[in-house]
Structure 1
Amino acid sequence: MSSTVYLNGEFVPYEKALVPVEERAFLFADGIYEVVRVYGGRPFDLEPHMARLVRSARELRLPEPDCEGLTRVTRELIERNQIQEGTVYYQITRGFHGPRAHAFPTGNGAPTVLVLTHPLAPEKLAEHERQLREGVAAITVPEQRWARCDIKSVSLLPNVLAKQQAVERGAYEALFVRDGFVIEGSSSNVFAVLDGEIVTYPACNYILNGITRQRVIRTARELGYTVREEGIPLAALSRCQELFLTATVTEVMAVTRVDGQAIGDGSVGPVVRALQQAFREAVQAL
């Protein structure tokens, strides 16, 4: 069955969802995006994702998204495409304006608004569950991105290259290192357990303040853990009791090896287990 896509106010078949060749996202990566996880046919944490979409639009001086309308579109696409376990992808760009020019176009050109869904295959879900149980490997890479990583922009080439390095080395994620500190992953936020406390890089222009990151910080504090938002020294990885990633699709994932070296005893630790359980309970409460 052909899936349905929402594009610029219309629901159309996936294969007929087309944009002009001079679309600014295609030429300049001039746009923003969000990804929402669907569990049991219901979107998870949709409201904070919409709020971040609005913030990203404001930072790039794009028109403010219609969050109420996008929420209705989300639910209709989930129903039309019969998504039980999957994701919803949103992209808003400055739209089509020709001829190509760097400066913002003048006139009344409309933004391009795209929403599409992707189901998660049973085998992918099974692999993800295995990774949650056993943990994953990561590598470290130098930070080479721009200084506005707080904007969820479609300009992701450094992230793509870092992730590819991880894949080629048999790892799940690449961790960016800036000025001697591990700050975040190519598609995730990073947390360490040091001396019994949870440490994660502070929300600022150098990282994306992940929706799952925010949820996990709140949950950890509710569970009685101390959470400190400060840098994780690269040199401190060797003495971490635990290291873990958070992201919309990743959820709460233990990192058991970095650059071939074990983290803690090389297994998923009690802090991650507790946070995974709390996350699952939040999903089940949808």
Structure 2
Amino acid sequence: MTRTVYVNGTYLPETEATISIFDRGFLMADAVYEVTSVLDGKLIDFDGHAMRLKRSLDALDMAEPCSTKELLDICRKLVELNGIDEGLIYLQVTRGSDGDRDFVFPAEGTPPSIVLFTQNKPGLADSPAAQKGARIISIDDIRWGRRDIKTVQLLYPSMGKMMAKKAGCDDAWMVEDGYVTEGTSNNAYFVKGNTIVTRPLSSDILHGITRKAVLRMAQEAQLKVEERLFTIQEAQAADEAFTTSASAFVMPVVEIDGVRLGDGTPGPIARRLREIYLEESRKAAI
């Protein structure tokens, strides 16, 4: 089945979708993106993703391509047209193009480009990977300093995932000045006793939408949350660990740099938080 995608105001088959070779998203990575999960044909945490999209656009002085209501309508239409029950919606907004390549931004009034497409992911909520748990390696964090802006500059995170794959593992956590920042596409946590530890929000990490929801749910479940810097060694000595992201929800971590956590299986707190997040998110989905 050929997907229907959305490009600059038009729904069309993916085989007919085009974008200018002069688009700054292609030439300069001058673009931001969001990924929203779909469960039971409904959007998870849509409002949070829409708010973060606006924050990213504002931080880069980039124009909004449409209103939040229009964006919701587009997402729902794509879910309907592509028959998505469980999956993802990818959204990308670029600064557009004024017909040539230049380091200087296009003239004021140049319309941004907006592209959306779906990914069908049956069994997303019942991922076998979550039952098994992830094995993690650590790598140096050499990204630019504004990681709180969700740009499409994903080359190094992609390289990090390939480093993990080459090492026979599932993902990588990045380390800067001795402390964990985040995973290649997720926020990172460890658990000691009844306490969840994760790095505080700053320009050093992405302000995860799933992160915000999971930490709120953890506190409601009477778990203690500490937002502070932590090392790989602390995480290795923990009872359990996990990551959060829009596409994997709560993913247990069972090994870090070859050190097994606990008995090497997903820990009870990570498993319970995943259950709570999926249950509550399904109730609130739109």
- TM-score per shorter chain, which class? over 0.9
Question: 1:51-200 maps to which residues of 2 (within 5 A)?
Answer: 51-65=51-65, 66-121=67-122, 125=124, 129-200=127-198
Question: 1:194: how far off?
Answer: 2.5
* Amino acid across the alignment from 2:121: L
* Counterpart secondary structure, 2:27: helix
Tell whether 2:10 aligns with 1:15. no
Q: Distance in 1 between matches of 2:72 and 2:6?
A: 12
Question: 1:10-61 CA distances to partner (integer Å, 9 max, x unpaired)?
Answer: 1111111101111101100000000000001111110100000000000011
Q: Distance in 1 between matches of 2:205 and 2:108?
A: 34
Unaligned runs of 5+ in 2: none
Question: 1:24-43 maps to which residues of 2 (within 5 A)?
Answer: 24-43=24-43
RMSD after superposition: 1.4
Question: 1:213-228 maps to which residues of 2 (within 5 A)?
Answer: 213-228=211-226
**Who is 2:47 aligned against?**
47
Question: 1:107: how far off?
Answer: 4.4
Question: 1:150: how far off?
Answer: 0.2
* Amino acid across the alignment from 1:106: A
Question: 1:163: how far off?
Answer: 1.1
Unaligned runs of 5+ in 1: none
> Stretches of 4+ moved more than 6 A in 1?
none
Q: Distance in 2 between matches of 1:136 and 1:238?
A: 14
Q: Distance in 2 between matches of 1:15 and 1:55?
A: 32
Q: Distance in 1 between matches of 2:69 and 2:198?
A: 32
Q: Distance in 2 between matches of 1:118 and 1:14?
A: 12
* Amino acid across the alignment from 1:24: R
* Counterpart secondary structure, 2:236: helix
Question: 1:98-123 CA distances to partner (integer Å, 9 max, x unpaired)?
Answer: 3211111224321101111110145x
Percent identity over paired residues: 37
* Amino acid across the alignment from 1:232: F
Match of 1:259 among 232, 257, 260: 257
Q: Are the aligned partners of 1:24 and 1:97 in contact in 2 as well (CA < 8 Å)?
A: no
Q: Distance in 2 between matches of 1:48 and 1:107?
A: 28
Q: Are the aligned partners of 1:177 and 1:183 in contact in 2 as well (CA < 8 Å)?
A: yes
* Counterpart secondary structure, 2:188: strand
TM-score (norm 2): 0.95
TM-score (norm 1): 0.95
* Amino acid across the alignment from 2:201: A
* Counterpart secondary structure, 1:232: coil
Question: 1:94: how far off?
Answer: 0.5
Aligned length: 283
* Counterpart secondary structure, 2:55: helix
